[in-house]
Amino acid sequence: MNQAADPTLVVDTREQLLRIALNEFAQHGIEGVTLSKIRQLSGQGNRSAVHYHFKTKNRLVEEVVDFVTGQLDVHCKQAHTEFARNAPEHKEWTRLCELIFDPFVQLFSSGETGAVCIQFLSRLTWQTGEQGQRFLTRYFNPYMDVFAPTLLEFFPQYSEAQLRFKVHLAVNTAIHGLADFSMVMHDERLLPLVNQSGGLKEMRRLFHEYISAGLKGYS
C-alpha cells in the first residue's frame, strides 16, 4: 500500500521512527546514532523513510526534544497550577522545592517511556554541547521563571544570577540522578531501603531532601 494513500500509516511510521530515535539517542547519544541505524531498527525497507518524515537529522533531534519536553510539560503544568493555589505548605522551603522538581520524578516514574525521556535529557546536557544546552535552556527557563520571585524571597542573600546558577546545577543534578537510578538497584547495600515497605516513597523523599539542601546551601 502506498504510504501517501493511508495517512494513518504515515503517522504510525513517523511515531515509530520518533520513538526508536528517542531510545537510541538516550542510550548512545545523538552523535552515536545514524539515520540509517534508526531506519534499520524500524524494519523499514525504504532507505529514505527517515528523510521522508523528518528531512534532516537536526530536525529529527528537534522533534525528539519536542516529544520529551511535551511529556514533561504535563507534569510541569500541574506544578504551575498547584503553585498558583498559593497553598500554605509551599511557604515552607522543602515542600516548595519538592513541588518544583517533582515533575522530573513523576516523568521518570510514569513508565518505560518516561524513564527513557529522563535518560535522553541527561544525555542532552553533556553529549550534544551547545545544541543540547540551548534546547534545555529554551524549555526550563520559562518553567523556572514562574517560581523565581518566590525563590528570591527565600534567599535574599543571592543575586538573581547567583540563584539562577544554583537552579541550573539543581536541574542537572535531578536529571542525572534519576537517569543513573539503575545504579541504586545494583548496590546490594541499598536493598534494605529498596525492598522495605514504602521504600520507593522514602527514596523520593530523600531525593527531594538532597536537591533542596543543595539549593539552600548553608544559609
At 118, the pLDDT band (50, 70, 90 cuts) reads very high
How much is the CA Rg of the chain, to the nearest whole Å? Answer: 20
Please report, rounded to a whole number, the percentage of residues in the chain having pLDDT higher than 70.
92
The count of other CB atoms within 10 Å of the CB of residue 20 is: 20
Contact 118, 175 (CB under 8 A): yes
Mean pLDDT estimate for the chain: 87
The DSSP 8-state label assigned to residue 37 in this structure reads H
Q: Using the structure block, give the residue that is written with the C-alpha cell 534519576.
A: 178
Q: What is the pTM of this model?
A: 0.86
CA distances from 141 to 18, 57, 133, 195, 206 (A): 25, 25, 12, 37, 25
Residue 124 pLDDT grade (very low, low, confident, very high; cuts 50, 70, 90): confident
